[in-house]
A and B are shown apart, each in its own frame.
Chain A
Amino acid sequence: MFTPKPILQAAGILVAVSVAAAASPALAQSQDHFGFGTPIGPQELAKYSAIPADGTGLPPGSGTAAAGAKVFADSCAACHGDKGQGNPAKGVGGDRLLGGRGTLASDTPIKTVESYWPYATTLFDYVKRAMPFNAPGTLSDNDVYAVVAYVLSEAKIIKPTDTMNATTLPKVTMPNRDGFIPDSRPELDLYH
């Protein structure tokens, strides 16, 4: 779909690159590339992670709500409340995680993981990269699976006995899975 264009098409680069290539074989890169940067392989890329909805890239490991209850109590409850109710205290400000189902079309919408988040994979992705707030990225993959299982179980989205892993997590159907529409702007009513 997007064919890389030869570098010669980049405005203003034609002369400089051609001259450099002709004048010095040591500098002669492919005329399609500057040659800057260092190729990087799977081993170095392994430290990065971003998990789309289909679960691609989910790591090995697994966890259950029972194990997750302890992780939650140790690492999450201080900011999110022992029941996932959130904590608005000064210096904390942790979001509410549970409840709010059925409120999105009401006059008092409550957006939580349970009521609003469309994908369970997003919860794994976010917790793994950015939680706990004061020590981001410190939970093991097993602990992340476990605490995700705990939140989903408390939200009654999965059963307390369900195990979350790379296979089961992408199959979880969140209550608001179909709650999103593409940007519908520009708002044509404004052009009447």
Chain B
Amino acid sequence: MKLRIRHTKLGKIRFTSHRDTARHWERAVRKADVALAYSAGFTPRPRMSFGLALPTGAESLAEYLDVELAAGLAPDLDDLAVRFSAAMPVGYEVTHVVERDASSSPSLQEDVVACTWVFTLDGVECAEVSSAIGTTLSATTLMVERERKGQRSTDDVRPAILDLSVAPSTDDPRPHLCAMLATNGRGLRPLELVAAMFPALDPVDTAARVLRTQQWIERDGVQREIIPASPVAARAPVVCA
């Protein structure tokens, strides 16, 4: 049985890396006593594959992984979600475990086309955020100088910005920026967006909180969440409306 799992990563645990999260899952599966299928080969590994990396320091409401259970297992999936949540460190909650039809869906890494992020911004007024959104969306190109793997390059990141808006906030007076960013190609990292929109500010101080709220795939020309969190969130990026 192949499963797709959706979970959160919130609070102090956000300072662990994507690789750390993979290790947390390997131990949690054993703690929950769920037998996984193993890869063949000289050093067999449990069959688990993880979605797009979440940057260290960012939180998320929408992390995903795929696992394959050992042959013959068909556990109750709601119960499995509870067991996984209990076995994972504090800060993770497993919200969904669904059966995955591997023949009709590619891997998470290949399938996701965009992610929605909500930034809690420090040291900027709401009006400045609105103005930066206007400037960014009306620009045809947005050149950013960045370095990856020791290579410096100047790229046009405007095509990766699919939507920007001011997100409504319930209890935090600071402005919230909602951004839908494409993940194909080199994409655009959340902090790179903040640096591009507010070039005069320090992006680390400015982006006090970075939260991934959704990961989007495309089916028949329509974007939808990989596993919808709720009927509301299942539609286009309503959160940003």
Q: Is B one of A's binding partners?
A: no
Interface residues of A (CB under 8 A from B): none
